[in-house]
A and B are shown apart, each in its own frame.
Chain A
Amino acid sequence: MSVEVLTLIFVMLTFGLYAYIGWWAKAVDTKSFYVAGNDVPIIANGAAIAADWMSAASFLSMAGLIAFLGYDGTVYLMGWTGGYVLLALLLAPYLRKFGRYTVPDFIGDRFYSNKSRAVAAIATIFVSLTYVAGQMRGVGIVFSRYLGVNIEIGVIIGMALIMFFAVIGGMKGITWTQVAQFFILIVAFVVPAVAISFKLTGNPIPQFGMIFSDVAQRLGEAQIEAGLKEYILPFQNMSKLNVFMMTMALMVGTAGLPHVITRFYTVKTVKGARWSAVWALLFIAILYTTAPAVGMFSKFNIIDTVHNQPVEEIQQIEWVEKWSTTGLLGLNDVNEDGVYRLSGDPATNEVNIDKDIIVLSTPEVAQLSPVIIALVAAGGLAAALSTAAGLLLAMSSAVSHDIYYKIYNRNATEKQRLRVARVMIFLSVLAAGYFGINPPGFVGEVVAFAFGIAAASLFPAIFLGIFDKRHNREGATAGIVTGLVFTVVMLVLMKSVPLLGTETPIIESFFGIDAAGIGIVGMVLHFAVGFVVSRSTKEPPQDIQEMVENIRIPKGSGEPQGDH
């Protein structure tokens, strides 16, 4: 059977499974569309968080990004896992105790203000929208490669599918679908990694293969020879300052991502929330410790196969031809000497490897069976779809629950709210699809923007709301607005070329800090402004202070609180 047919079968089988689970979970509990307390077992909730969390960017792009950044690729590895420590220690248990639906819910109630609720809702929408655009791009890439359509058509197919799942999956079904998606994506990621590790190093465990072999060294030598940077030495591709800032922005941003935070509302107890975080991070760590090995092995293998090899021989290789047609692998014998040469100098470079092909091409480059190739395609789609579902939910609840119901129309019926939620999912998918077709940057980078904004606006507000009893409405509003405005303005100025159409960026960097790390400056401003303003205005009302004391203690999390 050809790879295309197998892929189609795998994709259809997995989609059938998701559809079945969505239907099954929904059929069990039709009345609880808006259920807050969930009886999802802790390990399953951990798997659902992990799937929600690991996006198309984690699955498709991260290993590629690391392969090109080498040591400095740690910004993604540490950034996207270290934030989990903040989430588990500083936010999750208390938000679970608070026990409502959304992040804006907490901010609105804690700061007794619909203005801060609205600002938090807007930040939620902004973060989720930026993030979901990256998912659509990922879906587009997978479809374009495996169904032989161009990326635009791939994105449109993805939009149709996500729309379908967001509707039939429903709020509750999504959790169990994500559990299934986690297992498919992790198997799809680990199996080729084990195979390529065994092939190159003789060690089947990639985490060991990358350490107990000479691949790292040989890759470094090959890169130096071609005029590229050293692989395992620090700060070759990014400055120390930017590695620091970007790591921190991704960590803090992770802890402020609304679609992940919401997940902790779905377990029964505070203890459950703590252990969910442990399982989730463990499941995430499986992929995050495998990805750097895949990046290293795959890049080495591609360079080893193509670099300094005769054009005629290379053209014979099946995967070279396939990937060339998608434009993700560019081979051009510039000096016409009959040999392809990789070079650090763009003028003489004859081998262009797109970051996105590292993971997708691994099974083929490692000469694995077509079954594995099809599995990887299904895994990439699982990663993209599970995250997109979580994001669409976060976005639509921010509008339908926080803005429409809590602020605009307190008398809205369940039916009206549901209709608003559905329309919102529809509009979000359209917007996400648009940005997926006209991406503001590479998948991983687009996602990174969402983190800067979450770091500057949502994380500090939630953190202060829990740990600083004296923090009040005035401080929170001033802090959120400062962090958000500063970060967005800086991002727009630094990325003015694609956004505003200027010829060069209006500003290159903020005192040496790039766009990816600017969220941290926004966060510091948020803390500073929030502190000064809260201390110079009157303290929060007594009932709010009591609420803060209450969320700090696990006891009684099962009790209903307030109106939903």
Chain B
Amino acid sequence: MNKENDKSMQEYWKRNVALIRNLLIIWAAVSYGAVILLGDVLSKISFFGVNLAFWFAHQGSILTFVAIVAFYAWRMGKLDKEFDVEE
């Protein structure tokens, strides 16, 4: 592997890791944040027939997880193209 290629691969990896980090922050915020650490607070906010913390605990967090994984697959597809590392 030549120098230039090496550098571009490092950049590719750096952007991948940054994307993973950002998505994991969202992942932790909707699960550990909204449901557990802030569970007592958000359960005081009503959300239709239930409360907001309960909705995140039983529905919202799961839907967010699906969105995170889909966004990652889509974004990485673009990144692969940009750095020409597609298969």
Give the B-binding residues of A (Cβ under 8 A): 66, 71, 73-74, 77-78, 81-82, 84-85, 88-90, 93, 207, 210-217, 232-235, 240, 243-244, 247-248, 251, 269-271, 274-275, 277-278, 281-282, 285, 288-289, 292, 467, 549, 552-558
Given contacts A274-B73, A549-B9, A555-B87, contact A74 B50 (CB under 8 A): no
- Contact sample, A vs B, 12 pairs, CB 8 Å cutoff: A73-B57, A74-B57, A82-B61, A88-B72, A89-B24, A232-B50, A233-B51, A234-B54, A271-B87, A292-B58, A467-B17, A554-B87
Given contacts A554-B80, A558-B87, contact A234 B39 (CB under 8 A): yes
B65 contacts across to A, CB distance below 8 A: 81-82, 84-85, 281, 285
Q: How far, in angstroms, from A414 to B71 measured CA to CA in the complex? A: 42
**B87 and A556 form a contact (CB under 8 A):** yes
User: Are A78 and B62 neighbours in the complex by a CB distance under 8 Å?
Assistant: yes
Query: Which residues from chain A contact B20 at a C-beta distance below 8 Å?
Result: 89-90
Q: Contact check, A232 vs B43: say whether CB atoms are below 8 A apart.
A: yes
- Other than the given A216-B50, A232-B43, A234-B53, 7 more pairs (CB < 8 A) read A74-B58, A85-B65, A88-B73, A89-B69, A211-B47, A232-B54, A248-B32
Known: A78-B62, A274-B76. A234 touches B40 (CB 8 A): yes
Instruction: Say whether B18 faces chain A, with CB atoms less than 8 Å apart.
Output: no
**Interface residue from B27, B59, B70 paired with A82 (Cβ < 8 Å):** B27
- A271 and B86: CB pair below 8 A? yes
Partner of A289, one of B31, B35, B59: B59
Which residues in B have their C-beta under 8 angstroms from that of A73?
Answer: 57-58
Complex: chain B residue closest to A243, CB-CB: B36
Bound CA–CA A277/B12 (angstroms): 21
Closest-by-CB residue of A relative to B80 is A554
Minimum-distance CB pairs A-B, first 3: A74-B57, A234-B39, A274-B73
Taking a contact as CB atoms under 8 Å apart, the answer to whether B68 and A277 are in contact is no
Whether the pair B12, A553 counts as a contact (CB closer than 8 A) is yes
Chain A residue contacts of B27, Cβ below 8 A:
82, 85
- B80 contacts which of A84, A233, A271, A289 (Cβ < 8 Å)? A271
Measured between beta carbons, the chain A residues less than 8 angstroms from B32 are 244, 247-248
- Find B70's partner among A235, A278, A549, A558 (CB 8 Å cutoff): A278
User: B85: which A residues are within 8 A, CB to CB?
Assistant: 553-555
B56 to chain A, nearest CB (A): 8
B69 touches A292 (CB 8 A): no
